[in-house]
A and B are shown apart, each in its own frame.
Chain A
């Protein structure tokens, strides 16, 4: 348990080791949600010590509360939980829960942070996570994790996958603290782990940088009293509905009404509760609610096909990657309605407790309808803790309480050395948060490059014994887990039975096999009895296998010589009343584990030297930012730019929505890149060929002019090849010089063009090519661009009339403020329906450019004589993408942009190790988003480059050349491109570093020539036979 070492390590840390001016190779991450977790993992991988400080009892944050995630409908906990375990296991991440930052002294590079750590009242070193205390505790409280819909005890673990998996006593609820009696938990804890004497501690840590990732609070829906939240039981918040949907939630995943437990068949969602609500001081869009509501609809219908779903909304903001397609799909499902009308109030009907909603229909009439359940799509806001943190650290926040950042440095706070990630920097979804987290990690790594590796530890192990020639000598250790196993399974007879199994030379029972004293006994037994295979029968290997593998490694055994039998979660706990049968099942599970262990072979330790340099494809803002970040960390970088100029599409931007001068920003970055000694820029360069794998790539680039080829050796690739502004169609673009794209208009404004001087009426048309059948995605930036340009036009000439024809204004996040400002300044917005886009024509007589378009809210057609017509042309993928994709063996999505490894948690990685992604190549995005993503890609790349050699061990595929026919089936099914076919020898060759050991190849190979070490066909078959 990572926390076990917490306070001791902290106290031992030599505060004086770093002088006041030298940099400290450690980073404090405040907040243990998905952002904090990602930043910590990245930093640890880059060679920094991390203190991950979390206020609640477990890391995991809001994401742990979610049921599924959009747009992939992934199970949230399934994809998060491995990251939690990675954090817990990482020797360089110290998780400090129930703690907050109280004070920070010092400056960038060398801070002293004072933490206040609340007592847990449970000794983490003694606790085994058996859960008996929670079972016996008689005091209940509303579960925070279940948003008050379920109960927890006064001693509790917030959720079953919590890290650390150590319960905490809530002194506000515990009878011992309130009345001085009870102590039931103490009485029943067989390990004596309960410790009522713990008190609040003050802990100091020395760090070089700080990353703030304190997350958000959902908007308190009771502040919109018209919706009756808190008064009507069947009105829930979005987060509560997540818990309802969750199979592990208070209703077991049944979509039922809290008032009577009956299935909810007619469900309404109300959007923008606490968002886009300047009247309640929330002049921003929460950026995620449109999509989470669409996800709720999908999930509710998946649980019960009969669910009728109605979403009451304003603009639908489907601006992200894959969002528009997702929204289209959901809105076209049978039984699903999207109604553009924010609801004024909810009435609870007497008797049925049904909820009456009145809305304004598209037919221009009021309608009333009864629903079983209403979900309020609440927005997000910085919590009071975040504001306090910012104040204590002297970090500026904006009017809404979000951390102040600038478009040119989207993850830096106002205080040097302190960075920000996640929703505290402004409303953001998970991928954006994770991206910011990696980006912040990258900036911290840049700042502390000199101190990298200074405080990290690698565990030392004795030299590994070679047991390959030895006869198996198996030791079996059976855990009673207090009474958790022992009460149901007859452990003594199980041990007797184990001794009868072939090759078992030792079997014993332990009260707790995972305790420190038992691990000493295991090491002794291995040494004294010559044991060369170990089996532990205890709890689930998912949490404890790494611990035992580590134990046998300390005794000089290869970790793959270990097997586990799960006789707790999958035996004693699920057959509590059938002792005899459970014992027999446990015996068979042990027999199977012994059979696997008998055939266990020690795995090789791979070590692959890393070429510690990078190749960045694309010299736009994203590519240059990524390159600079890596170079600042000391890694040589090559930039291959297709054109003769650095800067990419940003060369056509003049200023940002916030009024920053983009041209100056581009110039400054180009100058820094060009003068950096570690960066080599190749202009007019085209990639011809790319070979190799993570750590050792070899890429051929050729000059576009001279065709001269050049070979570059490098360890990682960052794809930052950008995208283009497409041609708008359907309007007299190209035929009439008054018709421009947004980028052209920006240029016109910046250069004070002739058109502009005479213009009295400027018309914008949104979605001129996006969100269409043949291009079914939102180009994300156009609405913001339009608002920016409209405001600039009004600034230049307040008398000018500006009309915007739009479908949904995608001014998500904090840019909602600019949209409001544009309305205030008199820009007129007219909504049109997708089936009736505006028309533009030139009057034959007067040569006037006439735009006619729907104004849905007035129900009539608006006619405008335009001096300038600006079209929001789509952002389109580079024509080069398909070629690059096949050359680099990385996928494209259906729109032609590059597809990341995982839309939520690996937004800048590719499935192929060592290749990363950022900028418009990934999809449309604004400049600040591209910059954050570029920092993130640099962080991910640096975690490879920070290692001198890549180490890999264990369960990877290996080929028996004798049996292999070189048919290539394994290569075809391998999702990681870890297999190549040696065409000469006609055999498959596995790259052990790239292979993840999933076994798809082994299952596909009929001759059985390819197999997974540590999970071989032979072992599985032996286990089956041992039944």
Chain B
């Protein structure tokens, strides 16, 4: 029963900048009915289930949530948000946790998804549009591993599904400005 997390939490340790208060996410309204976790396609693969992430986001310790690999597994399918009886934007809370983890430099227990997202944005920034082959290569570099799907990729390549030649770069200068503006915050 007491699985997932263990060890005591000091509930009145002061919390810095909790997710509660982020407008529109309504995390504090959660009453732990677990509907989000029951409907989440990947909850079983997460170290912390969505309802636990929401709870940690509200009451802390938030660090626990930021370190979670669960947040990086979220597929953003919005099932939780759509069906929450309290109108908690669960997926939004998880996004906020991911953004906060990145901003505060917290390293997730499993860095693969973060590496992928970074590789993706790298490719967008560099080319304007994503080129699958180049994305895969960037991911391999970032994650320092050969992607598990490499054999599949070869198959797809052979079928003519994956174009080798990248599309021409589009609006990259403009995009760089967008990226920098984001960073400035």
Q: Which residues of A contact B (CB under 8 A)?
A: 226, 272, 276-280, 314, 340-345, 358-360, 362-366, 760-761, 801, 803, 809, 819-820, 823-824, 826, 828-831, 833, 852, 854-865
B10 is an interface residue with CB less than 8 A from chain A: yes
Tell me which of B12, B20, B37 contacts A761 (CB under 8 A): B12
A276 to B29 alpha-carbon distance, docked (Å): 12
Q: Collect the chain A residues with CB atoms within 8 Å of residue B16's CB.
A: none
Instruction: Across the A-B interface, give the 5 residue pairs with the lowest CB-CB distance, nearest first.
Output: A344-B39, A342-B35, A342-B33, A360-B37, A277-B85
B85 touches A366 (CB 8 A): no
B51 is an interface residue with CB less than 8 A from chain A: yes
9 example contacts (A-B, Cβ-Cβ < 8 A) are as follows A272-B33, A277-B85, A278-B86, A342-B38, A344-B36, A360-B34, A366-B40, A829-B31, A855-B11
> Which B residues, 66 to 84, have Cβ-Cβ distances below 8 Å to chain A?
79, 83-84
B1 touches A362 (CB 8 A): yes
Cβ distance B70 to chain A, nearest Cβ, rounded Å? 12
Identity of the chain B residue whose Cβ is nearest the Cβ of A359 in the assembled complex: B38
B11 touches A863 (CB 8 A): yes
Q: Collect the chain A residues with CB atoms within 8 Å of residue B37's CB.
A: 341, 360, 366
- Stretch of B52-60, B111-119, B156-164, B168-176 lying at the A interface: B52-60
Cβ distance A378 to chain B, nearest Cβ, rounded Å? 14
B38 touches A366 (CB 8 A): yes
A341 touches B38 (CB 8 A): yes
Q: Collect the chain A residues with CB atoms within 8 Å of residue B43's CB.
A: 360, 366
Identity of the chain B residue whose Cβ is nearest the Cβ of A861 in the assembled complex: B8
A114 to B135 alpha-carbon distance, docked (Å): 75
A826 to B7 alpha-carbon distance, docked (Å): 24
Tally chain B residues at the interface, Cβ within 8 Å.
Answer: 41
B12 touches A344 (CB 8 A): no
A860 to B40 alpha-carbon distance, docked (Å): 22
B6 is an interface residue with CB less than 8 A from chain A: yes
A824 to B38 alpha-carbon distance, docked (Å): 24
A859 touches B3 (CB 8 A): yes
B38 touches A865 (CB 8 A): no
A753 to B58 alpha-carbon distance, docked (Å): 30
> Which B residues, 121 to 139, have Cβ-Cβ distances below 8 Å to chain A?
none
B8 touches A823 (CB 8 A): no
> Which B residues, 85 to 117, have Cβ-Cβ distances below 8 Å to chain A?
85-87
B49 is an interface residue with CB less than 8 A from chain A: yes
A83 to B39 alpha-carbon distance, docked (Å): 47
Mask, B4-32, CB within 8 Å of A = 1, is 11111111100000001000000011111
A864 touches B51 (CB 8 A): no
Tell me which of A279, A314, A831, A852 contacts B87 (CB under 8 A): A279
A829 to B30 alpha-carbon distance, docked (Å): 10
Q: Collect the chain A residues with CB atoms within 8 Å of residue B40's CB.
A: 344, 366
B152 is an interface residue with CB less than 8 A from chain A: no
Interface centre among B4, B83, B85 (most CB of A within 10 A): B85
Q: Collect the chain B residues with CB atoms within 8 Å of residue A831's CB.
A: 32
A366 touches B44 (CB 8 A): yes
B2 is an interface residue with CB less than 8 A from chain A: yes
Tell me which of A340, A823, A852 contacts B34 (CB under 8 A): A340
Q: Collect the chain B residues with CB atoms within 8 Å of residue A861's CB.
A: 7-9
Tell me which of B3, B31, B59, B85 contacts A280 (CB under 8 A): B85
A858 touches B33 (CB 8 A): no
Given contacts A278-B29, A279-B84, A863-B9, 11 further A-B contacts (CB under 8 A): A272-B33, A364-B4, A803-B12, A819-B31, A829-B31, A829-B32, A831-B32, A855-B55, A859-B4, A863-B11, A864-B10
A276 touches B85 (CB 8 A): yes
A855 touches B9 (CB 8 A): yes
A820 touches B29 (CB 8 A): yes
B31 touches A344 (CB 8 A): no
A760 to B37 alpha-carbon distance, docked (Å): 33
A822 to B38 alpha-carbon distance, docked (Å): 25
Q: Collect the chain B residues with CB atoms within 8 Å of residue A365's CB.
A: 44
Q: Collect the chain B residues with CB atoms within 8 Å of residue A276's CB.
A: 31, 85
B9 touches A279 (CB 8 A): no
B11 touches A226 (CB 8 A): no
Cβ distance B130 to chain A, nearest Cβ, rounded Å? 32
Taking A831-B32, A858-B9, A859-B5 as contacts, is the C-beta distance between A279 and B86 under 8 angstroms? yes
Taking A360-B49, A857-B51, A862-B9 as contacts, is the C-beta distance between A826 and B31 under 8 angstroms? no
Cβ distance A410 to chain B, nearest Cβ, rounded Å? 26
Taking A278-B86, A363-B3 as contacts, is the C-beta distance between A857 and B32 under 8 angstroms? yes
Interface centre among A824, A826, A833, A859 (most CB of B within 10 A): A859
B20 touches A279 (CB 8 A): no
Taking A364-B3, A864-B11 as contacts, is the C-beta distance between A826 and B49 under 8 angstroms? no
A819 to B86 alpha-carbon distance, docked (Å): 12
Identity of the chain A residue whose Cβ is nearest the Cβ of B36 in the assembled complex: A344
A362 to B9 alpha-carbon distance, docked (Å): 20
